[in-house]
Amino acid sequence: MNIDKKEVNRLVMRLKEGDETAFDRLYSLLKLPLLKFVNGYTGNADASDDIVHNVFLCLYSRPIKNFSNCFGWIFTVARNLALNELNKSRFEVATDTRLVRTGGRSLLSEEELDMRRALSCLDEKERELFALKYEADLTFKTLSAVYGVPDSVLKRRVKKIVEKLKDRLG
């Protein structure tokens, strides 16, 4: 299915003007491609379906400043929501595994506690970038697409974050 990006832009503009039929058309046009795209990240049909529904909620609730690339904006929102779900599910799996290994007791090693303390000293954006790079294991090329900045900028940011953490950890 070949999607006309200009049509998506027009439909989003109509939706923002209150045209409910535009939403129905957007939904029928983009639901399947979004599901396939998001499922590539999550590998979970139910989670992917929830994410796609949240993408369409964002169309209603978030302002769009640039109507020239609504298609790109929609898929960027989908990618970001999928990455958030991926990080959340990885954290839940890691926590479950740790609890099983400790016989149901939530024990963290001293190193893990030190790392959590160090991470808590970072601002939210730094923690997010660190998590995407080292916990989600995303490449700088992928991160560049997510953040919309050159990978060289992200490499410098990550280097500064790692230096901050090294300083905190001694």
C-alpha to C-alpha distance for 23 and 15, rounded to whole angstroms:
6
The whole-number pLDDT of residue 99 equals: 46
Asked if 83 contacts 135 with a C-beta cutoff of 8 angstroms, the reply is: no
Q: How confident is the model at residue 26 (pLDDT cuts 50, 70, 90)?
A: very high
| Token pair listed for 33 | 């491609």
Q: How confident is the model at residue 137 (pLDDT cuts 50, 70, 90)?
A: low
Topology adopted by domain 108-170: Arc Repressor Mutant, subunit A (1.10.10)
CA distance to 35, 84, 88, 104, per residue, from 49 (Å) = 6, 14, 16, 32
pLDDT tens digits along 2-15: 677 889 889 999 98
Using the 8-state DSSP alphabet, how is residue 67 labeled? G
93 Cβ neighbours under 8 A, 6+ residues apart: none
Is the pLDDT score of 19 beyond 60? Answer: yes
What is the pLDDT of the chain when averaged over all its residues? 80
Backbone angles phi, psi at 65, to 5 degrees: -85, -30
pLDDT tens digits along 28-41: 999 988 888 888 77
The whole-number pLDDT of residue 51 equals: 94
The whole-number pLDDT of residue 136 equals: 58
**Which carries the bigger pLDDT value, residue 137 or residue 103?**
137
The whole-number pLDDT of residue 21 equals: 94
The whole-number pLDDT of residue 104 equals: 46
C-alpha to C-alpha distance for 58 and 50, rounded to whole angstroms:
12
Helix (H, G, I), strand (E, B) or coil at 137: coil
Domain ranges, ordered by start, for the chain: 1-103, 108-170
Residues composing the chain: 170
In this prediction the pTM is 0.53
| Domain 1-103, second-level architecture | Orthogonal Bundle (1.10)
Range with the poorest average pLDDT among 18-22, 78-82, 129-133: 129-133
pLDDT tens digits along 45-99: 899 999 999 999 988 787 777 667 787 788 888 888 988 887 776 654 444 444 4
